[in-house]
Amino acid sequence: MAKKLSANKKIADLSRNTESGEGELMSTDQGLLINDDQNSLKAGERGATLLEDFILREKITHFDHERIPERIVHARGSAAHGVFQVYKSMAKYTKAGFLQDPAVQTPVFVRFSTVAGSRGSTDLARDVRGFSVKFYTDEGNYDLVGNNMPVFFIQDAMKFPDLIHAVKPEPNNEIPQAASAHDTFWDFISLMPESTHMIMWAMSDRAIPRSLRMMEGFGVHTFKFINAKGVVSFVKFHWKPLLGVHSVAWDEAQQISGKDPDFHRRDLWEAIESGNFPEWELGVQIIPEADEHKYEFDLLDPTKLVPEELVPVQRIGKMTLNRNPDNFFAETEQVAFHPGHLVPGIDFTNDPLLQGRLFSYTDTQLSRLGSPNFHEIPINRSVNTIHNNQRDGHMRQQINKDVTSYSPNSIGGGCPYQAKAAEGGFTSHEERIDSRKVRNRSKSFFDHFSQATLFFNSQSPVEQDHIVNALRFELSKVTRPAIRERMVGILTLVDKTLAKKVADKLGMPVPKPEQPINHSIPADGNPAAYQPTKVKQRIERSEALSMSNTIKDTIQTRQIAILAADGVDEASLKNMANKLKAAGAQTKIVAPHMGDIKGNNGAAIPVDQTLFNTSSVLFDAVYVPGGKASVNTMAADADALHFINQAYKHCKAIACDSGAIEVLNNSYVAKASGEGNEIAEAGIVKDGNAKKFIDAIAMHRFWEREQQSKVPA
């Protein structure tokens, strides 16, 4: 049996092959010290460059091959190292080793990503986010490869290339980048009723998260837990962020894309560098094997979720991300995830989308990383020494000294041996299969609308408005009227009021509700046999599906802008800044110029950012301290007033010292507040009260302000 490694040894092993050039002499890839890295070898100072310059050839050749094909999907990613620790043994349900001992920390590497865009696209695209975790366990690598939404667009992997071809930029002009608001995507979706539930999620605020640290993660598929006695349970995986689940406004997301397209990447990096380590709890929904057919939906259908009201989520452990990558390419870009990387105690189900992924991921890594030896790249390497009969191939690193590379053998004493189940050898769950070969889908997969309606009904009124507005925006970008009409027709089967609100803004009548034909049928199939159905659900609303019910009791890592100029009241500024920092927030002084500003007592106060190099959309809240000269400057500065107007428009907390009320009076805040409307006053603190401001920031947003007349941009 393989020798177990301590947690510290495992973490150290993951860092092997790292290199720092600090204090070192330059060398070629073969270790030869380089005397001149500035000039190529020539025939005389002005002569031709010589072919024999092997140092030049090595350097240029490596540069020419630095870029590898980007991922077809999930190309733009950010990642971090961390650890996972289970709260208590899960032996009752699974024999997976990393879920047994609460004293053991399992190293992890987590990659977050957008799906549709290229590597150079913005972090704030309206999109699904990938949420993939590689556990470096004593039993081998286990990959939980999921998204920030619990369902997906399609039911069968056969349709995955079609989905991605449809959402990618259109092939005639490569437009638009990282966006689904175009004809080919909605053409496909409007012909695929099974996508309706996922469209509700993709058009919701889940698609524009405030931070990668403030979004949930899901395994999407149903998997199996298997314990030491062979007892099987179905399991759904959830990642619950301890900072809550929060989003930005759509207008804000578009502006962030222009102001800082690396917003999420920078946020994750800076949080870890500052010691504010992101944390998630791993949750599981466990369903006894005997209850496989208990529900109105099919557990194997990836377009369905299991409502938490039916099966509560048990939080079984915590993941903490505590170290940034040393090199983006070597780690974040070269990491290779695969849902087929399992450990004993976890197994697949017959979910047809999952089954297709089991082929696709290995095939993709072979294309991207160029070799079946991608597992030898340090970030992909198991903490266990690899022993098998696989040999050679491009970029082989492991040096095998064995005479034999086949099994069975006698020359090598039969080594390496097969591992018995008791020794940790993986055994697939024995499941009886007795059926005919068919290309078909179970009728239990045909309900495409019930959970879409459940999701929409579970949203708060504000969240529902955001879904309506997202659909209006997306479909308004569709140039072919027939596609818009077909899609709005599908929306009538989700919620008639939703469909009408979308149709009105598109300047079209609401199509007569009718059962759409599922176009994803075999050429010789009977369309009537593939008609979508709608099954009555036992619950009509799920509180867990609404972000309005998330954690709102912390301002940890929130970014607060303090608008100040020369003559600022030092006490007002420092008092608020200190209290915000004590509550876990990050403050930045934003002034009209770089360098220092002078306080009212003559102190030099360093400026972090300026009104011309930053924006309100990059902060969670705004504070204006007192000081007559500073207040006069800010009250007359159009950029400062625009900063406050944007914060108000995007429903953020705003506070000012009692002596700085003039600044708010010159902004749109005064106009809105003058109406005497409590909604307009929500999240506005005018007396410099730090506790009230902190409580307001913790609420994240005051979305009810959107009911007011539009705030000038």
Q: Which residues carry out catalysis?
A: 74, 147
Sequence-ordered list of residues with C-beta below 8 angstroms from that of 99, at least 6 positions apart, any chain: 86, 89, 90, 316, 317, 345
Residue bearing tokens 């720092």: 20
Number of H helices, E strands in the chain: 19, 18
List 597's β-bridge partners, or say none. 605
Question: CA-CA distance, 190 to 441, in Å (whole number)?
Answer: 20
Determine phi and psi for 587, rounding to 5 degrees. -110, 145
Question: CA-CA distance, 361 to 350, in Å (whole number)?
Answer: 17
Question: CA-CA distance, 229 to 421, in Å (whole number)?
Answer: 11
Question: Do the beta carbons of residue 464 and residue 498 sit within 8 Å?
Answer: yes
Strand runs labelled E in 329-404 = 346-347
Q: What separation in angstroms does the CA of 113 have from each of 172, 442, 480, 694?
A: 26, 32, 31, 31
Question: CA-CA distance, 65 to 320, in Å (whole number)?
Answer: 35
Reference 168, options 189, 182, 155, 157; nearest CA is 182
State the CB neighbour count (10 A cutoff) for residue 610: 15
Which region holds residue 121: left if phi is over 0, alpha if psi is between -120 and 50, else beta?
beta
Cα radius of gyration (the chain)? 28
Angle between helices 690-698 and 570-582 (to 10 degrees): 40
Sequence-ordered list of residues with C-beta below 8 angstroms from that of 661, at least 6 positions apart, any chain: 686
- Structure token digits, residue 7: 């947690």
Question: Do the beta carbons of residue 110 and residue 34 sit within 8 Å?
Answer: no
- Structure token digits, residue 96: 């997976």
* DSSP annotation of 33: B
